[in-house]
Chains A and B, each alone.
Chain A
Amino acid sequence: MKIICRCQDVTEDEIIAAIRQGATTIDEIRRLVRAGMGSCQGRTCRRLVAQIISRELKTPPAEIYPPTFRPPNRPVAFELIMSELKRQELEDGEKK
């Protein structure tokens, strides 16, 4: 049993099963079996998933529909956002 997505514990077999159900894109694999949904948001496993799709469907890697990239770049806590907002507010106050 080969683990492909370490953040979410997704095996190669699970990914192949998703492809057998009709998935052809990295986004579909993410949503169906959670490969790529972990803390690293697929930075580690995306390439491996693409390789498996390419191998199983016999399509060149370049033809695989690209995944959507979304913020944040790395996990960010609500408290950090709140302190950033407070800092901005103070700054704006000083300007006035």
Chain B
Amino acid sequence: MNRAFDAVIIGGGILGVATAYELARAGMKNVCVLERHYLASGSTGRCGGGFRQQWSTEANTELAMDSVKRLEVLEEELGYRTEFFQGGYLILAHNEEEEKQFAKNVAMQRKLGLDVSIVDADEAVKIVPYLNKEMIRKATWCPKDGHINPFLLTQGYANAARRLGVQINLWTNVVGIMKKSDTFFVMTETGNTYQTPLLFNCAGGFSRSIGQMLNVEIPVDPYRHEILVTEPVERLWDPMVISFSVGLYARQEKSGGMVMGMGDPNEPVGTFVGSSMKFMYEMAQRFTMLFPKLDKLRIVRQWAGLYEMTADAQPILGPVEEVDNFIQASGFSGHGLMLAPAVSQILADMVVNKSRSEVVESLNVKRLYNMKDVVKEKSVV
């Protein structure tokens, strides 16, 4: 078997697979993805599936807006249904501080051309019924945000990539990397070696360890993030609803189940993704506080995945100084699914057509070494 490729991508999550597809689409002939389990077995297949353009930093907002443009045509381009649905995102402000921050966010987002507005509590309850109105001061609303089935999106990209000649090798665990002159030697657990002049690190919560194989510091910390789904019920609402202060997001799947998750500031760094009772208790309290009338919903399954956090909650993109042609696409800090369509395309364009991208340059890993010019993303659950 020939194991020499024009590009090798480590990680078969949304970033790895979308990047492989975009590279092939941009004309690269010989691309290979290495995934240690199955497709989307990492964070991607465990995620909430939301895509939103309402962010507090310009970089995230721009990337998310480009992604939505891409998602709008992607089902047709890939020839695959993904449950792509622009049901909107409603973000709740519970106090004065949030109201002020959201006003700033919305001004910036509108400047970038996003269709987003501030609504009062009455309107919010019209958009998402059953909300506890007493708790809400204002909300921000973008009708063009929405959600998508992460597993289907990954599979759609993968099928299309394979049609363009991309090789996707599953159950292939990378355990070591060497670089001699211009060639990377990527070694797997079963003793195979892949050769390539161009290597992508799309290993999600494990991207720090891939960096270490080449002595490059990739400051991404994995944290467990838990989530659950209820039994299907009749249509309750279309949007994703988020509250940063209650620390919760919830949306309804196409098939009727309510998917909801929360952030836990006490979660330690680590790659453990077991389920906890604490989460079930905590989620029940938070959800019924915000939706007192929906306490009959029944949980059918909890699960967990990794948030891949950076110090500013923005991704690490592009090349590194120490090793040429070692491209990063990781550290998405809990919002990689929704940035992947744009990021994969920009990175492919960068390596194939030598184009430049200001956003990618602003998100180089360097910023996290010296923490200069770092703006922290505030809108994270």
Contact = CB atoms under 8 A, between A and B. Distances in A.
Interface in A68-87: 68, 70-72, 75-79, 81-82, 85
Given A21-B155, A39-B300, A75-B300, A82 B275 contact: no
Contacts of A51: none
A70 B284 contact: no
A34 interface: yes
Contacts of B170: 22, 24
A31 interface: yes
Contacts of A85: 281, 284-285
Interface string B291-316: 00011111111110000000000000
Given A78-B294, A79-B295, A82-B295, A72 B280 contact: yes
A81 B155 CA distance: 36
B272 to A, nearest CB: 13
A11 interface: no
Nearest to B298: A75
B39 interface: yes
Interface residues of B, number: 33
Contact of A81 (B39, B168, B281, B300): B281
B127 interface: no
A37 B45 CA distance: 14
B249 to A, nearest CB: 16
B281 A25 contact: no
A37 B151 CA distance: 14
Contacts of B246: none
Interface residues of A, number: 28
A67 B280 CA distance: 21
Given A25-B38, A34-B255, A76 B298 contact: yes
Contacts of B299: 72, 75-78
Contacts of B275: 70-71
A32 interface: yes
Nearest to B152: A32
A92 to B, nearest CB: 14
A71 B283 CA distance: 14
Interface string B82-94: 0000000000000
B287 interface: yes
A28 B255 CA distance: 18
A81 B152 CA distance: 33
Nearest to A77: B298
B158 interface: yes
Contact of A24 (B38, B159, B284, B297): B38
B72 interface: no
Contact of B297 (A8, A32, A41, A77): A77
B77 interface: no
A39 B259 CA distance: 14
10 shortest interchain CB distances as A-B pairs:
A81-B284, A75-B298, A79-B295, A31-B151, A78-B295, A77-B298, A78-B284, A75-B300, A70-B303, A71-B275
Interface of A: 8, 21-25, 27-28, 31-32, 34, 37-39, 41, 65, 68, 70-72, 75-79, 81-82, 85
Given A71-B301, A78-B297, 6 more contacts: A27-B41, A38-B300, A70-B275, A75-B299, A76-B299, A77-B297
